[in-house]
Structure 1
Amino acid sequence: MSGPQQSTEGTSFAALRGQLQDAAATFAGGQDALEGILLGMVDDVDRAVREPLEIFPVCHHSPASALAMARRLREKQPKVVYLELCEDMAPLLTELRNCRLPVAVQAFAGDIDGFPQEWAPLSVVAPITEASAEYQAIAYALDTPGVELVLVDRSSDHVFQWDSRGEQASGESEPPDGAEAALHGEAVGVEIGDLRPRFAELEEHLLRHGRVRHWSEWWHQYVEVPLGDGAAGHDTYRQVMFLIGSLFRRLAPGDGARVRVDEDRERYMWTRMREHLSATGTDPEDCLYVCGAFHAASRVEEFGVRGGSGTFTISPRTATSWQYGLIPSSHAAIEAQFGLAAGSVSIAATEWAKSLKRTRVKPYRLEGQAGTKKSGKKKAAVAPAVPAPPSTAAGDELSGFLRRPPVLDGLDEAELLGWSVEIVRAARRNGYLASTADAIAVFETSILLAGMRDRAKPTPYDFQDAAVTCIEKDSVPGRRDVRRLVEIMMGGDRIGQVGYEALPPLARDVYDRLEPLGLPLQQRGVKRALLDMTSRPELEACSDVLWMLRRLMPHGAARPIMGERRLGERSIQESWDLALGTHQRALIELGYDGVSLEQVLEQRLRRDAYGPRATTATVLAAVEDTLLFLRGRRLADELGTHALKVLAAERSVDGAPEVLRRARALLAYYRTEEPVLPAWIESFVKTGYAHYCTLLPTAFRDEDATVGQVAAMLGFLFSMESLALSLGCDRTQLELAVAQSHPDDPAKTALLWAAQVQLGTLSRAELRERCDALLDNPLVVPAYPRYLSGFVHALEPVPGLADVVVEAVSNAFGRLPDTVLLPWLPLLITTLRAGAADLAPLLIREAGRIFPGRLAALDAWIPPWRTPETDPFAAARAHLAAAGPTGVALLAAHPEACDAVAGLLGCDGGWTRPGVPAPSGVGLLAAHPATCDAVAGLLGCDGAWAPAAGTPAPGAALMTRHPATSEAVEALLPSR
């Protein structure tokens, strides 16, 4: 809502109003909307100038604003500085002295309460560079005794309370994409001085008539250079910025959530300032309000210290818990996040340094600021600062400023000549065939382009275009083109760094624990770490930290080159590529979740295991990571018990391959590392056996279930069968599940046949017959590759069928003609590669065992499946029959050995000497009744030998009843 307009009588802008009325009448032919806009702009300027609380309008990352701010602070020395920045970020500003700019103040919330869960995590960043007015105000307030710095913008919580998610609120730009914005990620950016036209036609008009390519170039040419040359005084600067802010404000779309949020931000800030003035009793004349020029030309009723009070109510914050920290930023990240042209922030930093040298204004820097010179050292001779134009009463400074022509001085020509020489030198280093003539051409072309664009002096953008035109011919010989070389020459992408003292406790703990490596890990770039735990056992703790960092941080922060960590295995030597300085933001954000890596890792594992989308494989992976990194049974047992519940609740087999792989690994680990299996792993095997038996028939018929998933189910059932049966499971359940399975897919059919072979319901000979029948059926031959795919997958549950699979593949290549084989050969290769690539080595090893190793032996080679089967015991029986008499003669020749063997067998009779009749079989039985009873028992006879002499021998009756047995026993005994 627009506030009451200022009276135009008696103001110092009467002459300007008259000129604008005449211009509106000339161009528009009378009073219309144009006159209202022009006069309204003057009213906005007049209103802002007359406010008792001095408003200092700025543009974000503008050297002209920073220069004017430094001058004004030294001249006025305000006691209170109100700054347009999220009020909850105030405690962090003192940590800026421990950082190297640019950095960003961040508010982060991982667990949210009061916002939609899909918005999580929430992040707000406010980047700060040295060439910015807000940094000058912060440095002045923090290092000047008796000065209070008050942040008055809405809190980070209100940023998302007022965010519509359909339209970006409060001037924040869309989340950036690309690697150059990785330092800020998807955080919402808050900047001071969002000074850009929101009316697309207006921006297009300004760019076209200003003969520039993008908004950053227009601002540099028509605002930055005129205000930053040192000739504009404080009042001139304020009025120009008020005028620009009013223009963009009045030409912005008049509806939408963004306009409402803009006005609410202005009401919020003026409300906070009035509350502070009322609470402290500070005189508004001793205060300075630093805000964006867009908000300085505000028309809300709450504007000013005498504005409407009590008309705006600040809503309470949500229950979301916010964490705060400093993260590294860069010029490229700022440009990408706020839609600025590439290289514009680097050019602004160059202009800032040039302005300080030309005007000799001493900027404010935080005491001990990293990356700057020590303030305690004094130079031998210091040139006096160029005095700023005197500050007068708030009169009309706009008319003279707008009519003043730009001036090209000698310093700019020398600077342009230096640029031309430097870009040629950089081009030659990067492979361009540049010479002194090219430097002259760049110099003259820059001046020519500036003249064609109605500019008094070339800008860095003109110089960039001239360098591309004169140096870059047909191709780029190296990695960088000329445009990028100019950006590097102008300052490059300066990247900030957060100092050790400003890091959260977790990040400091990581650096402390990795100190034994002896590497400067806070520096950007990749550092190689070599760990020999044999000679230096203390490095084992560093290895644990690095493996946890690899698990928690983005790829590339900690990358192992040599060494691995698996269940039950520990490396004695490791090699790592570390880039913790490059990924400092990710390390800082870990500190928002906890105070140690172990705590954060446990939280992440619990979140993964208990999440709404957690699967059995996910929980088992969390159990494995717990054993690998935390080495604790408590959390592993807890997550393993939770895996039972998740497995019992699953009704699909999508994760069966991963479950099989991880369950096998965990079972092998516990069997080798623990004296007994944990209770949860035994319960998991029992539950999994029953669960997969229940789902097996459905999975065979389900079209969505792949053959690999069904093979993994069978692999779990067959590989865990012995343990499951020992724990009380019933094998009949598996047999019934296989019997109830009736697949239609050829691959699953082959898999079912393999399962039947494993269970014994189908013989290998019958399986071979079915494979031969498939090749004999011309209707089935096109689908034969899918059967082979099923057989290959069957190697997971039934690895003993490798020879049958090799036989099936060989028969296809041997029997099918080329007209049939060649069309489906690509299908066979792609099918095996896509679905069974990990099982192919087993198949290849089996083929290498069966096939001959040399090409010459291939012609005479006969496949083993074509060799006729013979009785494996026929040769042994023939040998025994031929060696029978020889064996008797051998025993007769060595009676002592025979007696020794007889003694071992319990026989007390010795060998019959030659010439003495040997006892018959009946006599031998009579002599050894116990042996007779034992043999009779083995033969199924229930009679016993009668030992009494003179009685009829039961052995005779027994032998009469069983003559065949008698003959067999007598044949085994020696006889003469």
Structure 2
Amino acid sequence: MSEVFEPLRQQLLDAAAAFTGGPAALPEILTGLVDDVDHAMAEPLEIFPVCHHSPASALAMGRRLREKQPRVVYLELCEDLQPLLTELRNCRLPVALQAFASDLDGFPKAWGPLSVVAPVTEASAEYQAIAYALETPGVELVLVDRSADHVFQWMPHDQEQETRDDTEDDLHGDAVGVEIGDLRPRFAELEEHLLHHGRVRHWSEWWDQYVEQPLAGADHDTYRQVMTLIGSLFRRLTPEGTRRLAMDEDRERYMWTRIREHLAGSGVDRADCLYVCGAFHAVSRVVEAGSEPGTPDLDITPRSATAWLYGLIPSSHSAIEAQFGLAPGSVSIAAATWQKELSRSRLSPFRLTGQKGGRRKTVKALPPAAVAAPATDRLTGYLAAPPPPGGLDDAELRGWCVDLVRLARRNGYLASTADAIAVFETSVLLAGMRGRARPTPYDFQDAAVTCIEKDVVPGRRDVRRICEILLGGDKVGQVGYEALPPLARDVHDRLEPLGLDLTSRTIRRALLDLTADPGLADCSRLLWRLQYLLPGHAVRTIMGSRRLGERSVQESWDLDLGRNQRALIELGYEGVTVEQVLEQRLRHAVHDPKATAADALNAVEDSLRLLDSPRLSDELGRRAVELLGAERTVDEAPLVLGRIRRLIAYYESPSHPGDVLPGWCQQFVTAGYAHYCTLLPTAFGDEETGVRQVAAMLGFLFSMEGLALSLGCERTQLELAVRQSVPYGPAKTALFWAARHQLGDLAVGDLREHCDELLANPLVVPSFPQYVAGFVHALEPVPRLAPFVVETISKAFARLPDPVLLPWLPTLIITLREEAAELVPVLTREAGRTFPGRLPALDAWTAPWNRVPKPGRQRAGQGVGQEAGHRQNPVVAGARRLLDAHPGAALGVAGLLGRPGEWTTGGVAGWPEAEPGATGTEAAATEVAATEAGVAEAVRLLQTHPATTNAVAQLIGG
């Protein structure tokens, strides 16, 4: 044990004895602190303790590097990040070194993707060491900390999840941060004690007041001993047996093992080396610590088979603060302190060539290593003397107050010169209350909030944020073009025809006229793919669309790639081109364990929209067929129906080059027909299956029936499925009736009779709205029921009592909006055809369903009318026979003419009918009038378009 610190050790023992009055833990702790400092100073390999993003550490590092000029610098940083250091030349700090892995092998799949980041700022000791080593010939930089793979190997499963949850921010995401010099109390009681007696609000302010400012101009020995003492204090007060302490000790064993390996392999003298690590690790007492030969090594496990990707991503002051638990604005204050101390001390920092504002600092020839001077006790004087006055002088504080008022007025505050004076005086007052000779930036912030904000924020920035802008703002770094991955560089190259500065941190508007400049079509395709792949608003379309079969003539885009550079860089970890990444993601989406048939159909649609790869679309489609056959529920039947309809419409449209449906699409239709026929009885009777899902199943079966039958399916399967179904609840019962009607088992008249019986039954009236909801959903599989649904809803409004009708109206509106929004236009159009279009006509209007005669009289009247019509006009009789022979064609033409209805032997339902109670002659006259009116309309239409008449006549053999 060295005798240098013996006076200090004895002084602390006497103070502890006087304080405790006898033996206690305090004397052991205090003497242990001195022993740790003595042990670290005695290590032949110089240990340089630092704190993360500390200006004082950076200043001391710059001075020591110029004085010692070491030939080897060992740095506490993940060893596999070393190849990235040279790329810092092409960046604007702050940036972060990143290791990224998405395909995991050896780690739980739930952890993915894995990400480790190490932020680098100019006001940090690690950057000064990196710049010195890379810019000075003959100097070697060796990273000795665990690899990114070992970071997660040594991380307990539950702690990894906690770390991710606590480190989310905009630029670093959920990456695990690598800290160099983590100096913070490891239990809350100590931190609370320091904050209380230091009269500060948070740890960052305490550190700036009691460590940063006093050590900013300290000599090397004082700085080194004080930082080591602080690291020892926090280490000895960390509870034994904690998981965090065990992980720190493993890191120390790892780093010392790597250092001894390099010393043995290179043969360099330890006096020519410098070991840069956190002050917490500088006082390590594990058996593997030290550079003496024969010290045991750690048995380092091999890396897993996970393929790691490496790159640089932009960082920012706020991202660093969020990731490492620092107070907002503390990194900006540290950067301002760094610049202030550089100006005061006239020290030239080390910078990498190529960086913005960088100047190359080199040493042409390294002299022999200087002989280390004997260690002296600098702690006694430092601890006994009061701290030198720091903070802001009067002139600097006045300038800040004036600039603050100017910025506040720009942001909507009614600030004036009086407010500037108030901020100045309040800053001085707060500093005096907190025992400071001069106000600090933190005092200035508190005074500004008190005097200007007054609990009101008129704009999007509060006063504390304005103070950060005054100190330099939330500085955001940028990765240069040469340091970008191949994919990101390819994106910049391919978007160059737009003529925009994509590195700008403001939104750029791109206008594409694809007709005037067809060469921009490649840019358009790339932008659509980037919008699909990148999150947020990095690429956002303002005008234009790219749905199936559609191509825009003009497009407008908002591009914000400068502020979303991290997302673009991480996209480059997945592939070499955007198209490759898009193809991989589509394949991954359909092969995910939770993927469904609807997801696969969506992937097919995305591949058709964004990629010109029929092979990929067919592969994704075949996967959709497999997923559909494996499903045992019908929860996503509405999505399946909507997406397969769009795909079939696209394949059958003129824009598609093929003239037949692809094989996978035919297989999907046949498989879906059999699949939904099998599950239909269960879905009707299952209480958990919704009406919308059953309606979608029926919609698939009825709308795809013609195609499915042409591909070999049997209609008997559908008929048996419907007959075996026993509906659960009123809504499904109505849907069941609609299905029977579509199959021809239930006429519209029978449906009308069922509904009339329900309205006439007082016990069923409260549940009648549910029947109406079922009929509304029935428009999906049976759209020709629209007139009947309008009739049913109208009857419900007319006949339901208020206690039933009024509570049902909000439910009807919500149901239509959330579950059947696409069916509302169908009902609206049908209601427009049914009800009068003008208000005066409403008084004389009678609903068509109120004019329908009784079944017996209607048939008799229609028969008399038919005979009278036939006798009156032979042409009408011939047309009637032709239409009766082909009712489907008649209904189709009627729909095109805007007169849809139901075909009966006497004509189309919904046309003028005889009044209830009319005699046979009156009914016949009404039928003749209706028939002649319809024929007159048809004759006028045919005379207007004779070419169409002749063509239709030739087709039907007339």
How far residue 176 of structure 1 moved from its aligned partner, in angstroms, is 4.0
**Structure 1 residues 49, 789: closer, same or farther in 2, change over 3 A?**
same
Q: How does 1:785-800 map to 2 (within 5 A)?
A: 785-800=769-784
Q: What is the match of residue 447 of structure 2? A: 466
Whether the 8 Å CA contact 1:66–1:133 is kept in 2: the answer is yes
Match of 1:193 in 2: 181
1:515 aligns with 2:490: no
Task: Output the TM-score relative to the length of structure 2.
Answer: 0.87
Q: Which residue of 2 aligns with 1:840?
A: 824
User: In 2 relative to 1, CA 141–765 (structure 1 residues): closer, same or farther, beyond 3 Å?
Assistant: same
| Paired residues of 2:539 and 2:560 also in contact (CA < 8 A) | yes
- Corresponding residue number in structure 1 for 2:868: 878
How much has 1:434 moved relative to structure 2?
2.2
Q: Distance in 2 between matches of 1:782 and 1:285?
A: 93
* SS of the residue 2:518 aligns to: coil
Work out which of the residue numbers 199, 210, 229 in structure 2 matches 1:222.
Answer: 210
Describe how 1:793-808 pairs up with structure 2 within 5 A: 793-808=777-792
Equivalents in 1 of 2:741, 2:219: separation in Å? 95
The 8 Å contact of residues 351 and 358 in structure 2, kept in 1 or not, is answered as: no
Deviation at 1:735, TM superposition (A): 0.5
Aligned positions of 1:158-307 closer than 5 A: 158-167=150-159, 175-176=165-166, 181-228=169-216, 230=217, 232-306=218-292
Tell me, in whole angstroms, the C-alpha distance in 2 between the residues paired with 1:718 and 1:346: 66
Contact 2:135 2:352 (8 Å CA) reproduced: yes
SS at match of 2:821: coil
- Which of 788-797 and 474-483 deviates more? 474-483
Is 1:660–1:716's contact at 8 Å kept on the other side of the alignment?
yes
Q: Write the distance in 2 (CA, Å) between the matches of 1:585 and 1:579.
A: 12
Cα distance in 2 for residues equivalent to 1:275 and 1:582:
42
Distance 2:837 2:777 in 1: 26
> 1:550 is paired with a residue of what secondary structure?
helix
The match for 2:528 is: 547
Q: Determine the C-alpha separation between the residues in 2 that align with 1:556 and 1:216.
A: 33
- Kindly report the root-mean-square deviation, in angstroms, between the aligned alpha carbons of the 2 structures: 1.9
Contact 2:167 2:324 in 1 (8 A): no
Deviation at 1:256, TM superposition (A): 2.4
The superposition leaves residues 776-826 of structure 1 with CA deviations (integer Å, 9 ceiling, x where unpaired) of 111222111211111111111110000000000000111223344223322
Task: Name the residue aligned to 2:903.
Answer: none
**C-alpha contact 2:256 2:289 (8 A) present in aligned 1:** yes
The structure-2 alpha-carbon separation of the partners of 1:16 and 1:174, relative to structure 1 and needing over 3 Å to count, comes to farther
Q: Distance in 1 between matches of 2:128 and 2:361?
A: 19
Map 1:937-976 to 2 at 5 A. none
Residues 1:121 and 2:113 aligned together: yes
Distance in 2 separating the partners of 1:306 and 1:705: 73
Larger mean CA deviation between 774-783 and 711-720 belongs to: 774-783
The DSSP-based 3-state class of the residue aligned with 1:575 is strand
State the distance in 2 between where 1:665 and 1:253 align.
Answer: 64
Give the match's secondary structure for 2:393: helix
Moved more, 133-142 or 647-656: 647-656
Distance 1:852 1:410, change over 3 A: closer
Q: Kindly indicate whether the alpha-carbon contact (under 8 Å) linking 1:406 and 1:456 is maintained by their aligned counterparts in 2.
A: no
Q: CA offsets, 1:237-272, max 9 Å, x none?
A: 000000000000000111122111111100100110
After superposition, the C-alpha distances for 1:263-290 in whole angstroms (9 at most, x for unaligned) are 1100100110000000000000000000
Aligned equivalent of 2:36, options 22, 29, 44: 44
Tell whether 2:614 aligns with 1:633: yes
User: How many angstroms does 1:550 deviate by?
Assistant: 1.1
In structure 2, the CA distance between the partners of 1:819 and 1:625, relative to structure 1 (3 Å rule), is closer
Q: 2:584 aligns with which of 590, 600, 603?
A: 603
| From 335, 357, 363, the counterpart of 1:372 | 357
CA contact under 8 A between 2:53 and 2:331: conserved in structure 1? yes
Structure 1 stretch displaced more, 190-199 or 391-400: 391-400
Q: What is the aligned counterpart of 1:747 among 731, 751, 759?
A: 731
Q: Which amino acid aligns with 1:348?
A: A
Q: Supply the AA of the counterpart residue of 1:346.
A: S
Instruction: Give unpaired runs (5+ residues) of structure 1.
Output: 1-6, 378-389, 888-976
Per-residue CA shift, 1:507-553, capped at 9, x if unaligned? 00011111111111122221111111101111111111011111111
3-state SS of 1:354 partner: helix
The corresponding residue for 1:964 is none
TM-fit CA distance, 1:311: 4.3
- Aligned-partner SS, 1:167: helix
CA separation of 1:177 and 1:284: change in aligned 2, threshold 3 A: closer
In 1: Cα distance, 2:358 partner to 2:270 partner: 35
What is the aligned counterpart of 2:338 among 327, 352, 376?
352
1:295 CA displacement = 0.4
| Structure-1 residue corresponding to 2:143 | 151
Equivalents in 2 of 1:372, 1:70: separation in Å? 17
Structure 1 residue 881: Cα displacement:
3.5
Give, in angstroms, the shift of residue 828 of structure 1: 2.6
Moved more, 485-494 or 153-162: 485-494
> Which of the residues 670, 687, 705 maps onto 2:689?
705
Do structure 1's residue 23 and structure 2's residue 15 form an aligned pair? yes
CA shift in 2, pair 1:831/1:882, >3 Å = closer
Give 1:31-70 correspondences, 5 Å limit.
Answer: 31-70=23-62
Matched with 1:399 is: 380
- Is the alpha carbon distance of 1:475 and 1:514 closer, same or farther for their aligned partners in structure 2, counting shifts above 3 Å? same
2:561 equivalent to 1:580: yes
Matches within 5 A, 1:317-396: 317-369=303-355, 371-373=356-358, 392-396=373-377
Larger radius of gyration: 1
1:310 and 2:310 are equivalent in the alignment? no
| 1:822 partnered with 2:784 | no
What residue in structure 1 maps to residue 897 of structure 2?
A: none
- Is contact 1:235-1:391 (8 Å) kept? no
- Partners of 1:879 and 1:288 lie apart in 2 by 112
Take 2:213 and 2:753, find their aligned partners in 1: how far apart are those partners? 90
| Cross-structure match for 2:624 | 643
Report if aligned partners of 1:785, 1:827 keep a CA contact under 8 Å in 2: no
Structure 2, unpaired ranges of 5+: 363-370, 878-958
Matched-pair contact (CA < 8 Å) for 2:352–2:359:
no
User: Would you say the 8 A contact 2:97–2:118 is kept in 1?
Assistant: yes
Q: Which of these residues, 573, 576, 582, is aligned with residue 592 of structure 1?
A: 573
SS in 1 for 2:141: strand
CA offset at residue 392 of structure 1?
A: 5.0
8 A Cα contact 1:167 1:258, kept in partner:
no
Report whether the alignment pairs 1:453 with 2:437: no
Aligned partners of 1:649, 1:237: CA distance in 2, in Å?
Answer: 68
Is residue 402 of structure 2 the alignment partner of residue 421 of structure 1?
yes
Aligned-pair CA distance for 1:877: 4.3
- TM alignment of 1:726-765, pairs within 5 A: 726-765=710-749
How many residues are paired up?
Answer: 858
How far did residue 30 of structure 1 move?
2.2
Which residue is 1:94 aligned to? 86
Query: Does structure 1 retain, via aligned residues, the 8 Å contact 2:91–2:480?
Result: yes
CA–CA distance in structure 1, aligned partners of residues 131 and 784 of structure 2: 76
Q: State the partner residue of 1:76.
A: 68
Secondary structure of the residue aligned to 1:839 is: helix
Task: Name the SS of the counterpart of 1:327 in structure 2.
Answer: strand
Residues 70-90 of structure 1, C-alpha deviations (whole Å, 9 max, x = no match)? 010011111000000000000
Distance in 1 between the 2:160 and 2:186 partners?
12
Tell me the equivalent position of 1:932. none
Contact 1:175 1:187 in 2 (8 A): no
Q: Comparing 776-785 with 113-122, which one deviates more in the overlay?
A: 776-785
Counterpart residue identity of residue 399, structure 1: T
Amino acid in structure 2 at the alignment position of 1:91: P
